[in-house]
Amino acid sequence: MAKGLFQSPKGVRDILPEDQVYWRRVEDAIRKIVDLYGYERLDLPVFEDTGLFRRGVGEATDIVEKEMYTFKDKGDKSITLRPEFTAGVMRSFIQNSMDQLPKPTKLYNIGQVFRYERPQAGRFRQFYQFNVEALGEVDPALDFEIMSMAYHLYDELGFENLSFQINSIGCPHCRPGFHEQLTSYYKQRFNDICTDCQTRLDKNPLRLLDCKREQCQPIIEVAPSMADCLCDECRDHFKTLRRYLDDAGRLYTVNHRMVRGLDYYTKTVFEVWAQGIGAQNAVCGGGRYDGLSEILGGKPMPGIGFAAGIDRIVMSLQAQDHLKLSRPAPQAFFVTQGAGAKEQAVRLIIELRNAGISAMLAFGDRSFKAQFKEADKRRTRFTIVIGEGELEGQYVTVKNMSESSQENVPWSELVEYIGK
C-alpha cells in the first residue's frame, strides 16, 4: 500500500482514533483529581524565550545542553519549544502578579513538551505531560498533598502496587558541604567514571548520582549521602514528610541516590513507582523548588510540583488486559432506502441528538447490505431501518444488535424507546 509522499518526523507520532479512548480516560481521571484537590488550569505558550529555560532548568543539565529545540525567529530572537512546564509556570506566576492570589496557589497544565532525545518505548520527541504546581508554602504537608495527588491519579487509573521513592537533596545552606564531599570522592575515581560524569564533576556534581551508565553504578553505590549533610531545617522537613506518609500508610523507600534531573530542585524529591508495567517502574516524579522564583527575577516564592507523562500512562493502560477499553459506539445507526427515507432519518437523528442520544447515518447511495456492514463495524447498539414500508407506515424497524431482536416503533416514540 502506498504511504504517500511524507512521513512523520522521527520521534513523533499520530495519536489515532482507536487510541483516543485511552487518552480520554486519562484526561477524565485528571479532571476528577484536580477538582478534588482544588487545582486550577493554566495554559502556557508552547514556546518561550530560550533564556527562561537556561536560567530556570540549568545550563549544565542534559535538557539544556543536549535536548532543547531552539531556533531563531524572524526577529532574530532565540526561542525554545518548552522542554518542561515548571519554569514557564513560574514565569507566568511572576509576570501576571499571581503572588496576590491565596497561598498556596494551586495550578496544573496539560500539553505538549519537546525534547530532542533518542526515541524509545514510552519516550517521544513530542510528548504530553500532566503537570501540577503549588506555590507559596514550605509546609511539608503540602509536599504530602502533591505526592498524594500523584498517587491518587495512578490509583484512579487502575495501576497496582504503588509506592514512593523519596529523598531530600537539601537547600543552598547545606548543599555546598555535600558538593564538596561528593567532588572530593569523585576526583579520587576520576579515571573510572564515564566522560559525561567527568564533565559534570565541575559543572553540576549533584547530577553525578543520576548517571545511568553501567560503569558508574559501583561508584554511585558507595558515594557520600546527602542525608549526612542536611541542615536542621531540611532534616526536620523531611522527617515531618515521612511522618505524614507513615500515618497515611503509604509505602515508600528513602533513596539517597535520587536527585532528579533539573537544577531548580531543593529539599523533597520523589517518584511514584508501580509494579508490573515493564522495565521502568517510575511512572512520574517531582519535588520542591524553593529558589526558582528568585532565579527568574521574582520575589522569594517556594513551590513544589510533579509531572506525569500521559503517553506512557496510555501505553501502560493499553498493555494491561484488565484495563482494556473500547472505542465509543453510536447508540443508533440509520439504514435507509430511497431519498424520502433518508430525509426522514435526518429528521429523526436530530431528535435523538437533541435528547442526548448518539446517532449516525449511512451516507452515500449504498445497498442495505453495505449499510448493515457499516453498522456492524461501528458496533452500534440499535440499527434503525427505514425502507419503503416504514416510510409509508410512519414507523421504523429497530434492530437490537446485542439481543438479535427487532421491533417496529412509531416515529413519535423512537426517542423514548432508544433512551429507555
Q: Please check the confidence at residue 404 and state whether its pLDDT lies above 90.
A: no
**Predicted local distance difference test score (pLDDT) of residue 288:** 95
Helix (H) or strand (E) run with residue 78 in it: strand 78-81
Q: Render pLDDT for 99-149 as a digit per residue (tens, 0 to 9).
A: 999 999 999 999 999 999 887 777 899 999 999 999 999 999 999 999 999
**Predicted local distance difference test score (pLDDT) of residue 262:** 67
For residues 29 and 36, the answer to whether their CB atoms sit within 8 Å is no
Q: Render pLDDT for 338-369 as a digit per residue (tens, 0 to 9).
A: 999 999 999 999 999 999 999 999 999 999 99
**Predicted local distance difference test score (pLDDT) of residue 376:** 92
- C-alpha 46/C-alpha 114 separation (Å) is 9
User: Rounded to an integer, what is the distance from CA 409 to the centroid of its chain?
Assistant: 46
The candidate with the shortest Cα–Cα distance to 115, out of 99, 131, 104, 126, is 126
Q: Which of 73-82, 266-275, 318-327 has the highest mean pLDDT?
A: 73-82
Least confident of 7-16, 242-251, 260-269, 401-410: 260-269
- C-alpha 139/C-alpha 146 separation (Å) is 11
Which is higher by pLDDT, 175 or 278? 175
Confidence of residue 66 (pLDDT cuts 50, 70, 90): confident
Amino acid at 105: T
For residues 400 and 380, the answer to whether their CB atoms sit within 8 Å is no
Q: Render pLDDT for 232-241 as a digit per residue (tens, 0 to 9).
A: 999 999 999 9
Average pLDDT, the chain: 92
- β-pair type (395-400, 382-386): antiparallel
Confidence of residue 390 (pLDDT cuts 50, 70, 90): very high
Structural domains for the chain: 17-174+230-323 (3.30.930.10), 332-419 (3.40.50.800)
User: Mean pLDDT, to the nearest integer, of 37-52?
Assistant: 97
**Predicted local distance difference test score (pLDDT) of residue 325:** 79
User: Mean pLDDT, to the nearest integer, of 282-294?
Assistant: 93
CA contacts within 13 A on the Cβ side of 212: 4
Report the Cα–Cα distance between both ends of the chain, in Å, rounded.
Answer: 45
User: Mean pLDDT, to the nearest integer, of 191-207?
Assistant: 86
Contacts of 391 (CB under 8 A, 6+ apart): 338, 340, 341, 344
Name the burial class of residue 413, with classes exposed (0-12), middle (13-18) and buried (19+) by CB atoms within 10 angstroms of its CB: exposed
Q: Please check the confidence at residue 327 and state whether its pLDDT lies above 90.
A: no
User: Mean pLDDT, to the nearest integer, of 39-65?
Assistant: 91
Give 83-107 as a 3 state SS string. Answer: CCCHHHHHHHHHHCCHHHCCCCEEE
Which is higher by pLDDT, 275 or 302? 302
The answer to pTM > 0.75 is: yes
- β-pair type (382-386, 359-361): unpaired
Which is higher by pLDDT, 40 or 263? 40
**Predicted local distance difference test score (pLDDT) of residue 131:** 97
The three three-digit cell numbers of residue 80, written as one number:
525554545
**Predicted local distance difference test score (pLDDT) of residue 261:** 62
Q: Which residues of 227-260 are buried (b: 16+ CB within 10 A; e: fewer)?
A: eebbeeebeebbeebbebbeeeebebeebebbbb
Confidence of residue 278 (pLDDT cuts 50, 70, 90): low
Q: Which of 10-19, 24-33, 201-210, 219-228 has the highest mean pLDDT?
A: 24-33
- C-alpha 134/C-alpha 305 separation (Å) is 6
**Predicted local distance difference test score (pLDDT) of residue 56:** 87
Amino acid at 160: E
Q: Please check the confidence at residue 312 and state whether its pLDDT lies above 80.
A: yes
- C-alpha 29/C-alpha 25 separation (Å) is 6
Confidence of residue 277 (pLDDT cuts 50, 70, 90): low
The candidate with the shortest Cα–Cα distance to 208, out of 200, 190, 175, 172, is 200
